[in-house]
Amino acid sequence: MSEPAAPPTLEELAVVRARIADRLSDTARTIAVMSGKGGVGKTFVAVHLALALARRGLRVGLLDADLNSPSVAKMLGLRGQPLRATSSGLRPVPGPAGIAVQSMDFFLQGTQPLDWDGPAGEGSGVRSVLEEAALADLLGSTEWGALDALVVDLAPGPDRLPALVHLVPALGSALAVTIPSEVSLLAVERSVRRAHEAGIPMLGVVENMASSVCAHCGAEGPLFREASTDAIAAHLDLAVLARIPFDARAAAAADAGAPLAGGAGGAFDKLAEAALRGADA
């Protein structure tokens, strides 16, 4: 029988953390983008936040930390781009507006999923250990260079942010993405509470799909039945950083790998300003 995957020892963890810290030593700010559940447009927000920061003249990196369902490369039209390996590490792929992009997608063939093999009956434990090891390797091998901001697109779920902080104790800050539905708000509340318990600084909440933009006239109207993002944010002692309208044109552009903020451009500029202000506080 195979031995179960074991978490790293304290000594091994210290080595991993030191290697990652060295890679991020020239990164001024790290902003993690999290969500309580999937389907809320978290990656869309992370990608357009990175682009909005780059439009301000900042040197920006974007890490797709969703190892199982990476989609940053698809949204940016970078799927199939080769990674360049040098003697000092892996070079991120250059993306739109000059952002530096790293993703597990660059290592996979076509639609091939990652395979977390392990002994029968130990699937979840093995996956947890192997996922953290893979993320640590990605962080520790990427030669980011000097960055004004690194945006990290996390996989959905309450434990993803604490897992990242386990590897990067000096993580600067995080923001939570939700949509104005009761199910999503409940999930994001759980995730933010988990982040608070872990002592992770939260910048605030982003309400995605806050409204719908008409493709013909540009008018905005409600997309979901009313749910109080403001009340949840206040309950968690967080600000609502931005409200992003749903624009079908922007969604179609992201699917085509040609990101376009559409009617949400001003909202992402506001989000970038708020994220920088919070990260520098």
Residue 112 burial class via C-beta count within 10 angstroms: exposed 0-12, middle 13-18, buried 19 and up: exposed
Give the chain's length. Answer: 281
How much is the pLDDT for 220? 67
Q: Which residues pair with 204 in a beta bridge?
A: 175
CA dist., res. 105 & res. 99, Å (int): 16
Alpha-carbon distances of 242 from 36, 104, 174, rounded to whole Å: 17, 29, 14
**Pair 193, 233: CB distance under 8 Å:** no
CA dist., res. 88 & res. 100, Å (int): 16
**Pair 153, 101: CB distance under 8 Å:** no
Looking up tokens 């936040």 gives: 49
CA dist., res. 95 & res. 84, Å (int): 14
* pLDDT tens digits in sequence order for the chain, 281 residues long: 345 456 778 888 899 999 999 999 999 999 999 999 998 999 999 999 999 999 999 999 999 999 888 999 999 999 988 888 888 899 999 999 999 999 999 987 666 655 555 544 444 545 577 788 889 999 999 999 999 999 999 999 999 999 999 999 888 899 999 988 888 889 999 999 989 888 889 999 999 987 666 666 666 666 666 657 888 888 889 999 999 888 777 778 888 887 765 556 788 999 999 999 999 87
pTM greater than 0.75 (yes/no): yes
Residue 271 burial class via C-beta count within 10 angstroms: exposed 0-12, middle 13-18, buried 19 and up: buried
CA dist., res. 43 & res. 223, Å (int): 19
Residue 11, φ and ψ in degrees, nearest 5: -65, -45
Alpha-carbon distances of 106 from 1, 71, 77, 112, rounded to whole Å: 33, 11, 12, 11
Q: Which domains does the chain have, with CATH numbers?
A: 10-279 (3.40.50.300)
Tokens of residue 58, six digits: 């900042």
**Pair 179, 60: CB distance under 8 Å:** no
Looking up tokens 């090891």 gives: 133
How much is the pLDDT for 2? 47
How is residue 55 annotated by DSSP?
H
Q: Write out the DSSP string of 38-75.
A: SSS-HHHHHHHHHHHHHHTT--EEEEEE-SSS--HHHH
